[in-house]
Structure 1
Amino acid sequence: MPIREVRLDAVLRALGGAFVELVFAPSGDDVFVDSVVFAEVGDLTRPGTADVESSELWLAVGIGAAELAAWLNRVDQKGSAPRAVMSKEASDTSVRAAAQRAGIALMAVHPDARWDRLFSTIRGVLDHSVSRQDSEDVVFGSDTDLFELAQNVASLTRGMVSIEDERSHVMAYSASGDAADELRRQSILGREGPREYLRKLQEWGVFESLRRSDDVVEVPAHEDLAIRRRLVVPIRRISENIKGESGFSSDLLGTIWVQEGPLPIAGDADRVLRGAAAIAARLISRIRDAPSNEAIQVQRLLGVLGGGVDVPSLAASLSIPMSGPAMVIGVASVGGSVLSASGELVSSLRLHASAFHRESLVSAFGARIYVLFPRTQSVKSTVSWTREVVARLEKVSPSGLRAAVSSPVSTLTEVARARAEVDRVLDGTSGDVRVTTLADSRTPVLLGEIMDAIAADEQLHDPRIDALDVYDRRNGSNMRESVSVYLAHSGDVRRASEQLRIHPNTLRYRIKRVEEITDTDLSEPSTRLLMEIQLAASARAVSSPNLSDPSSTLRE
Structure 2
Amino acid sequence: MTSRAALPPEPSVALREVLAFDDGGSLRLLLAPAGRDIGVRGVAVGDEGPARSLDGCLVLVTGAPASSPAAAAPVREAARRGASGVVLRAVEGVAAAPQVLAAAEEAGVALLTRAEWADWTDAAALLRSALACARAGADDGAAGRMGPGGPESLSALAAAVAEYTGGSITIEDTRLRVLAHSATGPDADVLRRSTILGGRVPEWRVAELRRSGMLRTLWTSRDVIHRAADAEGPERLIIAVRSGPEVLGSIWVAGDGRPLRPDAPDALRRAAEVAAPLLVRHRLRESGAARRSEVALRGLLYGDGDARTHAWSLGLSPDAACAVVVAEPLAAAPAPGDRTLDVAALQAATYRPSVRVLRDGDRLLVLLPVDAGPDRGAAALARELAGQAQDAGVLAGAGPVAAGAAGVRDSYDEALLVVRVLRERAAMGGAQRSADAAGVGPSLDVARILDAARPVWEAGRGPVHELVRADLAAGGELVRSLAAYLDASGDVARAASRLVVHPNTLRYRLRRARERFGVDLEDPDTRLLVTLAVRLSG
TM-score (norm 1): 0.47
TM-score (norm 2): 0.48
